[in-house]
A = this chain, B = another copy of it.
Amino acid sequence: MVKPVLAVNFKAYYPHSFGENAYRLAKDAVRVWRETGVEVILAPPFTELKSVIEAVNGTGVKVFAQHADPVEPGAVTGFIPLEGLKNLGVHGVILNHSEHRLKISDINYLVKKARKLSIETLVCADTPETGAAVAVLGPDMVAVEPPELIGTGVSVSKAKPEVVTNSVDVIRRVNKDVAILTGAGITTGEDAYIAVKLGTIGVLVASGIVKAKDPYQVMKEMAEAMLKGLA
């Protein structure tokens, strides 16, 4: 059976996404992974990658960078090449997030280079059409997130289910294999349940988990809801 995916974008909430909070969130994620077996992905800020990687060490939880810069290693200042991420031990990278859009040629460059370095790629898109466009480039995962719902707590799976089903349709026409995630406004287990019922394999969540009173509870609820949805 295919495992549902619970991807958590820490963003840069302060203090939630940094220091001890980031570490604690990672430990909560490990607990959810142990208890449910879903595929858990954590994307902390660059500066917290090291401590989060240490926190999940030896478990199945994966750590992704929130972004990578389309640069070769060398004389570049304040940018992060994929090689630096790989060396640190990250498993993957989010690309083209709504808050960090990339040029199409740079997405292509990064997806191809990540594949060579065995770094997984999760490429975001704002519409079904751009979701299909980036899917053509062969990333591991695509998440379609209508920007107007991001951070609202109004989930795309409830407010715009047609965006999700339409995304699955147009993406599958150009790429049979890419994993499709649902994102934007995902806050509850029910949102996650609908996401998998509509044909995607998981969710990309940020404030719904990171700023939750009890992130563990929300992650657990979402993981179980997705398992139920896929059963």
Contact = CB atoms under 8 A, between A and B. Distances in A.
Stoichiometry (number of copies) = 4
A46 B77 CA distance: 10
A104 B125 contact: yes
A67 interface: yes
Contacts of A15: 87
A84 interface: yes
A207 B75 contact: yes
Nearest to A51: B50
A120 interface: no
Contacts of A102: 103-104
Interface in A184-222: 206-207
Nearest to A15: B87
Contact of A136 (B78, B85, B87, B132): B132
A78 B104 contact: no
